[in-house]
Amino acid sequence: MQSLLAEPVYVSVASEPDTIPKIDQKLLFVDREHKTSFLMRLLEDGSISRALVFTRTKHQANRLAFRLSKGRIGTDSIHGDKSQTAREKALAGFYSGRIPVLVAIDIAACGIDVDDISHAINFEMPNEPQSYVHHIGRTARALSFCDATEGGYLLEIERLLRQSVPVLTGGRRTPRGGMF
């Protein structure tokens, strides 16, 4: 290698990101059919002032935003199937605070940089552990909803973090680390 390069430098990039210690992470075990109503109750109680909510699919982002809006929670969604105008409108509403809840998928959330997001919420557990770290790194508080079908995603996330995600009241783990 010395004969090919003048003054080579070795660069190493960490392949496994760690979470930022100051992030208050909480895991909530919620049955799939109760996730939307549970999220609505959390958003209505006033402790969450501005939230970025993550789903895995565009369809789920649209469906969740529609249901929250129907429940009189200022919400919009952002993803690649929306027109540029619709995405800009959703972002403008979120940045200004007029829309306190933005539902997004991973790719659409790239570049969203709002200082006063009170919570990042994983409505569905990300199927890529690195996405979890990216989601929760946007705020000081993160909530993740996990249903019985998402236990494998949770185990991969905890393997990446090298720690368990703290469970918020009522959740319990099986001896193998799964749920319920």
* pLDDT per residue as tens digits for the range 90-117: 999 998 999 999 999 876 566 677 778 8
State percent of the chain over pLDDT 90: 58
Please report where in the chains the tokens 């973090």 appear, as a residue.
161
Those residues with Cβ within 8 angstroms of residue 141's Cβ, 6 or more apart along the chain or in another chain: 23, 24, 26, 118, 119, 120
- Mean pLDDT along residues 144-167: 94
Residue 79 pLDDT exceeds 80: yes
DSSP-assigned letters across all residues of 75-108 = EEEE-TTS-HHHHHHHHHHHHHTSS-EEEE-HHH
**Average pLDDT over the chain, rounded to an integer:** 84
Per-residue pLDDT, averaged over 123-144, amounts to: 89
Residue 72 has pLDDT above 90, yes or no: yes
- 């997001």: which residue's tokens? 117
Provide the token pair at 44. 């209505």
State yes or no: pLDDT of 168 exceeds 70: yes
CATH entry, 24-161, from 3.20.20.210, 3.40.50.720, 3.40.50.300, 3.50.50.100: 3.40.50.300
Q: What is the pLDDT of residue 115?
A: 73
**62, pLDDT greater than 50:** yes
Strand partners, 25: 142
Relative orientation angle of helices 58-70 and 35-44, to the nearest 10 degrees: 50
53: pLDDT strictly greater than 60: yes
Task: Specify the pLDDT at position 151.
Answer: 94
Residue 177 has pLDDT above 50, yes or no: no
Residue 48 or 14, more confident = 48
Q: What is the pLDDT of residues 16-33, one digit of tens each?
A: 555 455 788 999 999 999
Q: Helix or strand or coil: residue 34?
A: helix
R_g over Cα of the chain: 18
What was the pLDDT predicted at 11?
Answer: 63
Q: Domain spans of the chain?
A: 24-161
Tell me, what's the pLDDT at 111?
A: 64
Beta bridge partners of 27: 144, 167
Section 46-73 average pLDDT: 94
Tokens of 12: 């190493």
Q: What is the mean pLDDT of residues 129-144?
A: 87
* CA–CA dist 117, 140 (Å, integer): 9
